Structure 1
Amino acid sequence: MAFQKDGYPPKRTFHTTKPVDKAREKELVFGIQSVAEAIRAGQEIDKIMIYREQNFNEIQQLAAEREIPVQRVPMEKLNQITRKNHQGVIAFMSAIRYVSLHNILATIFEKGEVPLLLLLDRITDVRNFGAIARTAECMGVHAIVVPMRGAAQINSDALKTSSGALNYLPVCRENNLIDAVQYLQDSGVQIVVCTEKASQIVSNIDFASPTAIVMGSEEDGVSPDLIRRANMTIKIPMIGKVSSLNVSVAAGMVIYEAARQRS
């Protein structure tokens, strides 16, 4: 530790606001007219933040029509993201173009392939998401399915962590994962939920049939509603003293077992 001449450590300087991330600003569209035009143009937008003390009727209506999540936040939050003239509105742009789950599933069946899908329930860490996408693409997963709300923003960090896998692996963004699960089951796809509460271990499951693997939140795992709707639940057997795995590591182990069986 460096010391001043009088022998005491130098005083620390504390900042009341976070510095603006210049790289992140490139992934934003801000200003009332700019955000409205981005929505009208059909650009992929992960979410929109608006100043909570003001009404933005046109933007809110356009966002509702496109099912884009809107968050009402204090002005300080907007100023932390960018100090440019945002006019109380910031849109977070996606680095990829989402595809329809219905179209993806139809294409897989038309090719004569057996679907292997990955549903991510409320995984919010961008690096976890990118790492999972990288493994999924390498192991032959056909697509990742994420919820409209409560999921990691797919930005340049996610692309970088995925080592470019997100340029090849389709991502479907669904308004409701429960509805997505029901659609997949109606289409003959089994839903396999990975949870530490399961009694079956991963190697005992047949992954050779059409399958959608569900991995859950870093905080509390897969939601109870999704667990109840699963065709089966599985767990990864562990013999060490630590009883949990990082979700990206766990996903990699389950996906590998599915790929191993299919090979």
Structure 2
Amino acid sequence: MSKTTQIYGIRAVIEAIRAGEPVDKVYIQKGLKGTLIKELEDLLRKSGIPASYVPLQKINKLTQNNHQGVVAAISPVAFLTLEELTEKVFTHKESPLFLLLDGISDVRNFGAIIRTAECTGVDGIIVPKKGSAPITGDTVKTSAGAVFRVPIAKTDHIKDALFFLKASGVTVVAATEKTNNLLYEVDLKGSAAIIMGAEDSGISPSILKEADFLAKLPMLGEIGSLNVSVACGAFLYEAVRQRTL
């Protein structure tokens, strides 16, 4: 499957969620009322699936079918839980490399990051259930199909994953400009997890506080920051360099 599948109609979306389909996000027309909508909203809250309340025009752009004001995006890949991912990785890898994405919202950046992660041997990518870019056809295309090769887990909060990894002996390194420490001074040869932040705001302060190390890239030009997918590539290839010496 090369594109995100859409399911439309209130009852159809409810049944898809109950059946365990990998629903990435649900779009709901603003102002909708009724028993079924309440049932859907309750189910979304329990499942941790993000919802966006949008104008009718947005729904009509998503599909021309009889949508009843509700459209769900079904991911072309199945996400793992944090527990499933870590159990799978720790069973087969002595010094794994994880990538945590704190609020990457652009689907093309997400795809480019996944592609680089696959090329650099990342063992698993972890994203939050809410606030993360969905996997769309553009994501699949930009990743050059890497979305089907790198395990991706969703967690309620990135901080939950951070605590779990640290307790498992994984060194957590946050990519941020808010430090004087250069990336090249950080040891990435053992079990490690690299955190990359949102395109506009970077890593949230509460996450930065919990990281083992903060690290930045040297910036020699007038522009003060890199595109997040480019910066991610630099961090991951430094890990590769250290691990292949």
TM-score range, shorter chain: over 0.9
Mapped pair 1:147 → 2:147: no
Aligned residue among 13, 24, 27 for 1:49: 27
TM-score, normalised via structure 2 length: 0.93
Report percent identity of matched pairs: 43
Compare 85-94 and 62-71 and name the one that shifted more. Answer: 62-71
Q: Is contact 1:108-1:114 (8 Å) kept?
A: no
Residue pairs, 1:69-84, within 5 angstroms:
69-84=50-65
Alignment match, 2:6:
28
The alpha carbon displacement at 1:163 in A equals 0.5
Render the CA deviation track for 1:208-263: whole Å, top value 9, x for unaligned. 12111000111111111111111110000121222211100000000000011111
Render the CA deviation track for 1:131-160: whole Å, top value 9, x for unaligned. 110111111000111111111111121111
**For residues 219 and 33 of structure 1, what CA distance do their matches in structure 2 show?**
37
Q: Tell me, which stretches of 5 or more residues in structure 1 are unaligned?
A: 1-22
Aligned residue among 226, 229, 236 for 1:255: 236
Residue pairs, 1:58-77, within 5 angstroms:
58-77=39-58
Q: Is contact 2:173-2:215 (8 Å) kept?
A: yes
**For residues 251 and 200 of structure 1, what CA distance do their matches in structure 2 show?**
16
The alpha carbon displacement at 1:115 in A equals 1.6
Alignment match, 1:40:
18
Alignment match, 1:106:
87
Q: Secondary structure at the match of 1:90?
A: strand
| Count of paired positions | 240
Output the amino acid matched with 2:6. Answer: L
Q: Is contact 2:94-2:191 (8 Å) kept?
A: no
Q: Secondary structure at the match of 2:172?
A: strand
Output the amino acid matched with 2:79. Answer: Y
**For residues 190 and 210 of structure 2, what CA distance do their matches in structure 1 show?**
18
CA RMSD of aligned residues (A): 1.5
Mapped pair 1:188 → 2:169: yes
Alignment match, 1:135:
116
The alpha carbon displacement at 1:85 in A equals 1.2
Higher relative contact order (CA 8 A, sep 6+): 2
Render the CA deviation track for 1:179-225: whole Å, top value 9, x for unaligned. 11111111111110000111111111000121110001111111111
Moved over 3 A (4+): none
Alignment match, 2:101:
120
Q: Is contact 1:105-1:115 (8 Å) kept?
A: no
Q: Secondary structure at the match of 1:114?
A: coil
The alpha carbon displacement at 1:77 in A equals 2.2
If you compute each CA radius of gyration, which structure gives the higher value, 1 or 2? 1
Q: Secondary structure at the match of 2:190?
A: coil
